[in-house]
Amino acid sequence: MKITVVGAGAVGATCADNIARKELAQELVLLDIKEGFAEGKAIDMMQTAALLGFDTKITGVTNDYSQTAGSAVAVITSGLPRKPGMTREELIGINAGIVKGVAENILKYSPEAIIVVISNPMDTMTYLALRSLNLPKNRIIGMGGILDSARFKYYLSKALDCNSSDLQGFVIGGHGDTTMIPLTRYATYQSLPVSNLLDEATLEKVAADTMVGGATLTGLLGTSAWYAPGAAGAALVESIVRDEKKIFTCCVALEGEYGQADICLGVPVVVGKSGWESIIDFKLTPEEQAKFDRSADAVRSMNNVLTEMKLI
């Protein structure tokens, strides 16, 4: 088993570190365009192997995609963050070129690889991959909903004063402050609906805190988060390579499911060795469906930039 992570920045390196610690592959390739950067990160991680007891071989490479040959899964974290004064069109234009180039290079050497997209704007970059790579739709997966759902469970655990691992909760929709939809109605604590334990005002606050979870961390850190995004990417990879059939919210191609088509959006899916294998229908209420439709409209507006800029 061989896995590639493209982008050795904070998120990519953290994802790679989690993959190695879990021993999800015999070989892990960490690739970056900055000379020596991935090599240094790989050596640093390999020097923890004797302390942590993992056997995965981590190889860092600078822009040499031939070293990624034979990868079963490729995680794409490459891209630039939005800078002050940068329009969304500029950000999408830059990152679309990066993500498309990375994916094409990966598939040149690993034509059967499953592509995991973490790069932002994640929903739009996943849609770009779907439209430009000519792959079966199940082999293109955006990670964002897994991270959003983890943040949802974190805020629920604070409200309930419990361990987040005892909670089930899903966030669907777009991976953005205004487009994600925490499904409080479906959230449970040890199989008990959290609505039996928390009042409506508290649940609304949990949902609101979840939606700005990323922005909250950016405000505190001065940059985007990396521990939870990296761990979320590794959790998705684990369900693929170990064929765990876990249900995660992932950004996938919709063809009429949840009332939407020609879009990639976060919905609950079963994840196994072939990528995402099926979509779970949560039977949304009319109010939830309306929120989902608004989320789709916002993401589609971002996707339209790809067409306007002739990127797809």
The Cα 4–Cα 56 span in angstroms is 12
The Cα 260–Cα 240 span in angstroms is 25
The Cα 141–Cα 236 span in angstroms is 9
In sequence order, which residues have a C-beta less than 8 Å from that of residue 215 and are 6 or more positions away?
A: 177
In sequence order, which residues have a C-beta less than 8 Å from that of residue 172 and are 6 or more positions away?
A: 145, 180, 181, 183, 249, 258, 265, 266, 267, 268, 282, 292
Tell me if residue 224 is catalytic: no
CA-to-CA separations, 303 to 251, 294, 300, in angstroms, rounded: 14, 14, 5
The Cα 150–Cα 238 span in angstroms is 16
Closest CA to 3 of 35, 22, 26: 26
How do 275-279 and 261-272 pair as beta strands?
antiparallel
Which H or E element spans position 88?
helix 88-109
Q: Give the active site residue among 139, 151, 175, 291.
A: 175
Under a CB-based contact definition with an 8 Å cutoff, are residues 12 and 30 in contact?
yes
Burial of residue 239 (CB within 10 Å: 0-12, 13-18, 19+) is buried
Signed CA dihedral, 226, 231, 233, 234: sign only: positive
Write out the catalytic residue numbers: 175
